[in-house]
Structure 1
Amino acid sequence: MHAESGLEKATWTDADFEVMGWHDCRVHAVSIGIRDDGFPWSRVLLDLDYIVRWVDPAYGRRHFSFWITPATLVFDEAWDITGQLDPMNDLLEIADLHRLAPPDDKPDPLWHVEGQNFDLRLRAPAFTQYLRKSPILSTKAQYLTQTERGGLGFAERSFS
């Protein structure tokens, strides 16, 4: 799919959870709303810069490089959504995404998006993550500029 970055596919799901990682992924926007088809469940969408691969520093260098792509992370049929924003001295960045066992007799796992300056928890049966553009090599930061990423977006289609 994208040999330079090692990316094998552009659409990921909760079935891929164990091989994915969101550490240091910048969140640019969050949407919480209902589906267009009138289905009664909520949807939670995150517009983020997904780090496809961390590249070790070249010999004699101290800093990593990163293969990054704009992505839409979608939790359909979301419920029991809670969150917190801390005082904003910096932008939102994910520390980790946790899939926790259900705390009750309902089957849906508890998803915990643990972040720098924010915390989001929700129940949903699954997620889908769409990588919207080919990965870009960044040698300066762990996020893309608005120009590099094509602005904000929640498109639910992957690049081909």
Structure 2
Amino acid sequence: MSTAVHPESGLSKSVWSDADFEEMGWHDATVHGLSVQQGEHVPRLLLDLDYIVRWVHPVRPAKSFSFWVAPATLVFEEVWEVQGGLDFTDLHLELELDEVHRLPPPDGREQWPLWHLQGHSFDLRFRAAGFRQYVRRAPQLSPGPAFSAAERGGCSFTELGFA
């Protein structure tokens, strides 16, 4: 049994990978930045997000959830066949994930599954060899699921988990 890196929130480690996919969830994670970087052979896709480590049920008289949240960098390696779009038809210019899906590749190339980032105002599908997610700072208990830019120290794509 592994010891939690952050016992209060239940976070068991600060660096995750696609091997942990079934244990993870990105519902309502706010995306603060998106970057495409050239990797060794093919591009990498990086997202700077506020990862919700745990939703906390309200205790009476409170009626709203609170959240254990931490800034994180989600990095997809060897990305190709990127398709999708953004839909900012109103003044609400915020990217928020609904779900991340790992789908079987349509051509049988198991080493490059199809990933689907389904958001409230965006949709991305692409092939990638896998991902790593770096929780950059210890989770904080917050009344909301996201931090302001000032609270999180701006946008970052640092690939280092907190100790």
Shift of 1:147: 1.9
Report what 1:111 is aligned to.
Answer: 115
Deviations 1:44-85 (A, max 9, x none): 000000000000001222100000000000001111111200
Taking structure 1 as the reference length, the TM-score comes to 0.94
Distance across 2 between alignment mates of 1:75 and 1:84: 18
List aligned pairs for 1:2-151, cutoff 5 A. 2-35=6-39, 39-89=40-90, 90=92, 91-107=94-110, 108-139=112-143, 141-151=144-154
Taking structure 2 as the reference length, the TM-score comes to 0.92
Shift of 1:88: 4.7
Deviations 1:2-54 (A, max 9, x none): 1111111000001111010000000011001202xxx2211000000000000
Aligned partner of 1:149: which letter?
R
Identity of aligned residues (%): 52
Task: Please report the RMSD computed on the Cα atoms of aligned residues, expressed in angstroms.
Answer: 1.0
How many correspondences in the alignment? 156
Distance across 1 between alignment mates of 2:84 and 2:32: 16
Q: Which stretch has the larger CA shift, 111-120 or 100-109?
A: 100-109
SS at match of 1:147: helix
Distance across 1 between alignment mates of 2:21 and 2:55: 18
Distance across 1 between alignment mates of 2:151 and 2:69: 10
SS at match of 2:48: strand
Shift of 1:106: 2.2
Give unmatched runs, 5+ long, in structure 2: none
Aligned partner of 1:146: which letter?
A
Distance across 1 between alignment mates of 2:65 and 2:109: 42
Aligned partner of 1:96: which letter?
E
Aligned partner of 1:65: which letter?
S
